[in-house]
Structure 1
Amino acid sequence: MVSAARAKYTIDELARAAGTTVRSVRVYHERGVLPPPQVKGRTGYYSPEHLQRVHTISRLLDRGIKLNGIKELLAALDRGDDLGDVLGVGETDAPATAAPSDSISATDLQERFAEVPNGLARVVAAGIYEPVDAMTYRVADRLLAGFVDQLTAVGLPAEAVLGELERMRADCDRIARRTVDLLHREAWDPYRRSERTPADLVELSEQVRVARTLPGQVAAGLVTQLIDRELGHDVELSELLNKM
């Protein structure tokens, strides 16, 4: 259950931290998916739990779940109910192409993340796993699952790895939103003001094509470069690695 304790964000700060809008936050309140803030004087303040809840709502919306369904799902998660039951997903809903190795029992998945607070709910909200039925889950995103599996396999704690993945996803979400904003300002708006000739449409299509893929490629390369730089700044770690 989201608590109003440790309140620290105004509604503007919450929206900015979550990468969303004040209007969206207000809609979440109106639809009953976000608990009210702690009111001091005439100002409402939100806690880190509120921020995490807004991130979860955004991820579920990205997965095509409507706000009414999200309200039911979040209430069930707060009660500790099974996600398969809440979503009403049956065995016949599993795609025929799903590989057996991608499936895991609810018991095994819960045990795998037993040391992570709300571990089962968090790996589902992060888009790593999804329910097949009340007893079975499957990998929803192999890239994300591989990130968690590989880092935990070399001994990093699951809670720390999952937390880093959640922060990384929030960072990527901000990059995506900025890219789309750029397209709106510099591609779509000029196209709407143009004569909308076939040449104008070709130019818009090419701008969208490049902007869809290039930020991810550049971000991946930059992250690797910057990790190497940070490792190089750690003198003790660098000396140890050089001896290996």
Structure 2
Amino acid sequence: MEELARLAGITVRTLRFYRERKLIPPPRREGRIAWYDDHHLARLRTIAALLERGHTLSGIADLTETFDHGRDVGDLLGLGAPTEEEPVRLTPEELADHFTGEVTAENLAAAMELGYVGTDGENLVHISRRLLDVSAALVREGIPLAEVLGAATRVREHADALAELFADLVLRHGPEEDLQRLRPLARSVVEAEVSLAMDRKLRKRD
């Protein structure tokens, strides 16, 4: 415990307090000896970074509980499922930097439930760099992250319906292998239609 506290730059008393608040997982025990490892040190450094960014210990406790019980990266990405999206590995403090003041336990749980975020040891993995960047840009424009995630849930429903429509169209006229080959065409159709729909919406508001 003394060695871990020294490496983390905190006192043993603070470390005991973090353990009592369950901010760090319990050590591995062999008889009367308690062993801490790099995961404990990484968690302590994450706590320090979040405190520096203005998070309270109560908020950090909620985040770590959500973090420890969230979906792991295997559930998030699937087992060898094809994707055009680029996953992004993040530390909790890096995620906090993307969404300043908006990374609450509720928002993190919503992102995990939506399938945007999973855990991988002490790190987080966002399923799509494009979605991460767009979500962060919307928050910077003043839209609360909770509302961005709520809108994403509705978009997901429409996206699933569009994917089903395109898959049915392709499979009626060709083998299943064509789905992967022709998916860029589906993306182009959706992007063009959304662009035209935005044109119609803007014209109505003028």
Normalising by structure 1, we get a TM-score of 0.43
Match of 1:124 among 112, 117, 121: 112
Q: Which amino acid in the other structure matches residue 164 of structure 2?
A: R
Letter in 2 for 1:178: L
Q: Distance in 1 between matches of 2:115 and 2:100?
A: 15
CA change 1:107–1:180 in 2 (3 A) is: closer
**Post-superposition shift, 1:106?**
9.5
2:68, 2:204 → 1: CA distance? 47
Q: CA deviation at 1:156?
A: 1.4
Q: Report the counterpart of residue 143 of structure 2 in structure 1.
A: 156
- Counterpart code for 1:113: V
Provide closer, same or farther for how the CA distance between residues 107 and 161 of structure 1 changes in structure 2, counting only shifts above 3 A: closer
* Alpha-carbon separation, structure 2, partners of 1:139 and 1:216: 21
Distance 1:138 1:105, change over 3 A: farther
Q: Does 1:182 align with 2:191?
A: no
Correspondence for 1:217: 188
Q: Report the CA distance between 1:170 and its aligned residue.
A: 1.8
Decide whether aligned partners of structure 1 residues 85 and 163 sit closer, same or farther in structure 2, where only a CA change above 3 A counts. closer
CA distance in 2, matches of 1:147, 1:222: 19
Q: Deviations over 1:29-69 (max 9, x none)?
A: xxxxxxxxxxxxxxxxxxxxxxxxxxxxxxxxxxxxxxxxx
Counterpart check, 1:112 vs 2:83:
no
1:139 corresponds to which residue? 126
Give structure 1 stretches of 5+ with no counterpart.
1-79, 90-97, 189-203, 236-244
Report the Cα offset of residue 209 of structure 1: 5.4
Aligned mates of 2:191, 2:95 — CA distance in 1? 35
Q: Larger relative contact order (C-alpha < 8 A, sep ≥ 6)? A: 2
Structure 1 residues 164 and 82, CA gap change in structure 2 (3 angstroms): closer
Could you tell me whether the CA contact under 8 Å between 1:110 and 1:120 is conserved in 2?
A: no
Q: Which amino acid aligns with 1:230?
A: K
Q: Which amino acid aligns with 2:150?
A: G
The alpha carbon displacement at 1:86 in A equals 5.9
Does residue 203 of structure 2 align to residue 232 of structure 1? yes
SS at structure 2 position matched to 1:186? coil
| Paired letter, 2:103 | F
CA shift in 2, pair 1:111/1:153, >3 Å? closer
Contact 2:115 2:127 in 1 (8 A): yes
Report the alpha carbon displacement of residue 150 of structure 1 after superposing the two structures with TM: 0.6
Change (3 A) 1:132 1:153: same
Q: Give aligned pairs, total.
A: 128
| Cα offsets for 1:215-237 (capped at 9, x unmatched) | 111111211121122012113xx
CA RMSD, 1 decimal: 3.4
Gaps spanning 5+ residues in structure 2: where? 1-63, 74-86
| Counterpart Cα distance in 2 of 1:174 and 1:136 | 32
The residue matched to 2:142 in structure 1 has which SS? coil
For residue 159 of structure 2, what is the aligned residue in structure 1? 172
Q: Deviation at 1:126?
A: 2.4
